[in-house]
Amino acid sequence: MTLPNGGAGYTVKGPVFNGRIANLDIARAAQVKDGKAVFFESEQSVGRELPFDQAEEANKARRRLADQALIVRAPKGS
């Protein structure tokens, strides 16, 4: 998202994560770069489907990650 005033004073908040949940390598990041709020997410499967007894815990972990808000904050007084 392009920010006003070249992004001066703006901040972003979002999950920063780089790791494995179950059989997925997941990377997430949020930053202000070149006057834009940039949010990045990548998922890469590194294995087969999970056995049923592991799937529920993996789903809970992914939901916790997905529930984290992506926020753009304007500078004070704007």
pLDDT (0 to 100) of residue 52: 87
Q: How many CA atoms lie within 13 A of 66 on its CB side?
A: 8
pLDDT tens for each residue of 22-78? 899 999 999 999 999 999 999 999 988 888 888 999 999 999 998 999 999 999 887
pLDDT (0 to 100) of residue 64: 92
pLDDT (0 to 100) of residue 21: 92
pLDDT (0 to 100) of residue 78: 75
pLDDT (0 to 100) of residue 5: 93
pLDDT (0 to 100) of residue 49: 87
In contact, 7 and 37? CB cutoff 8 Å: yes
40: in domain: yes
The total of structural domains in the chain comes to: 1
How far from 26 is each of 3, 36, 45, 72, CA to CA, in Å?
A: 27, 23, 9, 22
Alpha-carbon distance of 78 to 55, in angstroms, equals 46
26: in domain: yes
Tell me the residue range of the domain where 32 lies: 4-69
44: in domain: yes
Alpha-carbon distance of 14 to 40, in angstroms, equals 10
